Amino acid sequence: MRVKKFGLSFLIAVAFVFCSYLPALAQSSTHRVEANSTNRHTMYLRDGQNANISINGDGDTDLDLYVFDPSGDEVARDISTDDQDAVSFSAESTGNYRVEVRNLGNVWNRYQLSRRTSGNTGGTGGGGSGEIGNARLTRRAEANGTNRHVMYVRGRGQRITVRINGDDDTDLDLFIFDPSGNEVARDISTDDDETASFVAQTTGTYRVEIRNLGNVWNEYQVWRTIGGGGGGGNNSGSIGGGRLSRRVAANSTNTHTMYVQNGQRISVRLTGDGDTDLDLFIFDPSGNQVGSDLSTDDDETASFVARRAGTYRVEIRNLGNVWNGYEIWREIRGNGGGSSGGGGGGVISYARTSHRVEANAMNRHTIYVRAGEYVALRINGDNDTDLDLFLADPEGEQVASDVSLDDDEFVSFTARRTGTYTVEVRNLGNVWNGYQMWRER
């Protein structure tokens, strides 16, 4: 019996030690982080495992969440302005990962730490392609296929924005569905840079679908950002292709954001409820105004061609004495032609696309190429004029051209660097030329 008592005491001691280390290993545990301080946890992951880590605070202060790999390199973070943070990532090495919870407030915060791990879910289409967090998740959508992701949303009233950024080879569309299967947001623009925002009406697991409309695979990154509640005020949500509904107070301004790629032609559209005059302004990442509509109603449109990539600011100013409920969305028309370029433009894919280049003018297109990749491009005009075809690498150096005396042109090359290449179609004739362009396999 004495041996049994000793064994029981030993087991209790071991259990106590294990429980004291539980924050690093448990699926869910509760902790307290003091004012202006940091709590550190550890978790063991194997190479290729997917990890989803979240914290849910008591609402008193702003908490930030960071994850570091066994070498001390940061692999994920969520630095939203509240205390509900989440990150997702795939482990690239086996070992102990450090999780830091930083309290930016002047009082302590009690939070719940949760984690889920799984094997490598891949992203080759269909099924589950991984859980979306604030860290960028890289996946591959097969030709004419659909990838499905999930994300857990806590609390009614959270504003969630999901973004995807593809490799420019095909058109991707983005759809979001609530726990009941109802669609709550979408972006079906004609490129693969999508943004969809919504205000959650229920807590639970939301489904995110990424549909590839092209005939080749597309490697994309997907992530989310979490904003505050419903609308109005200083930050009123990110603008995508789907209509975003907001309310701007009397004699006040709402601010939106949107991420734009260099060379994209963007139109922002706004439709109010008819009660007041709304004005629309757009500013580039440096704060320079690039578009506006100051008409005397609340049906506004402002267009511009982006001269740099980055986050653009959109302001909605209400000139009336009552609030106005409006809808806002954006339309993307690919890359604008150059300063001397005509209508055409756009991203080149394997599918044939039709364009028109004006007399004695030039159209510019783009194509994203990986180092070592073989590329063959062809254009076929309407036989009215002589077209020439030129191709330049991301640094502007010419890598291929066809200057034959007709409008049936072909170039091919093997890329020495990864990046966005520029394709110029120059019309040497005195009338416009309607041509088709495509990439050959």
> Which residues are CB-contacts of 159 (< 8 A; sequence separation ≥ 6)?
197, 198, 199, 200, 226, 227, 228, 229, 230, 237
Beta carbons of 427 and 362 less than 8 angstroms apart: yes
**CA–CA distance, 373 with 440 (Å, rounded to integer):** 13
* Total Cβ atoms within 10 A of residue 430: 9
pLDDT of 210 reads 92
CATH of 121-230, one of 3.40.50.300, 2.60.120.380, 1.20.1090.10, 3.40.600.10: 2.60.120.380
Instruction: Decide: residue 11, CB within 10 A, 0-12 exposed, 13-18 middle, 19+ buried.
Output: exposed
- Nearest partner of 98 among 87, 110, 111, judged by Cα: 87
pLDDT in tens, the chain (441 residues): 333 334 444 343 433 333 333 333 346 778 899 999 999 888 877 777 778 888 989 989 999 888 888 888 788 888 877 888 888 777 777 778 889 999 999 999 999 888 777 654 333 334 446 677 767 788 888 888 888 888 877 666 677 888 898 888 888 888 888 887 888 888 877 788 888 877 787 777 888 999 998 888 888 988 887 764 333 334 466 786 667 778 888 888 888 888 777 777 788 889 999 999 999 999 887 778 888 888 888 988 888 888 777 778 899 999 999 888 898 888 776 443 333 333 445 567 667 777 888 888 888 888 877 778 888 899 999 999 999 999 888 777 888 899 888 999 999 888 888 777 888 899 999 998 988 888 887
Q: Which fold has domain 233-333?
A: Jelly Rolls (2.60.120)
pTM of the model: 0.33
Stretch(es) of the chain classified as CATH 2.60.120.380: 23-116, 121-230, 233-333, 353-440
Beta carbons of 426 and 362 less than 8 angstroms apart: yes
Identify the H or E element spanning 2: helix 2-20
The first and second tokens of residue 338, run together, are 């150059």
pLDDT of 237 reads 67
> What class is the 353-440 domain?
mainly beta
pLDDT of 236 reads 61
Pairing of strands 278-283, 244-248: unpaired
> What class is the 23-116 domain?
mainly beta
> Which residues are CB-contacts of 204 (< 8 A; sequence separation ≥ 6)?
152, 153, 178, 179
| Residue range 336-366, pLDDT digits in tens | 333 333 344 556 766 777 788 888 888 888 8
pLDDT of 6 reads 40
Beta carbons of 215 and 69 less than 8 angstroms apart: no
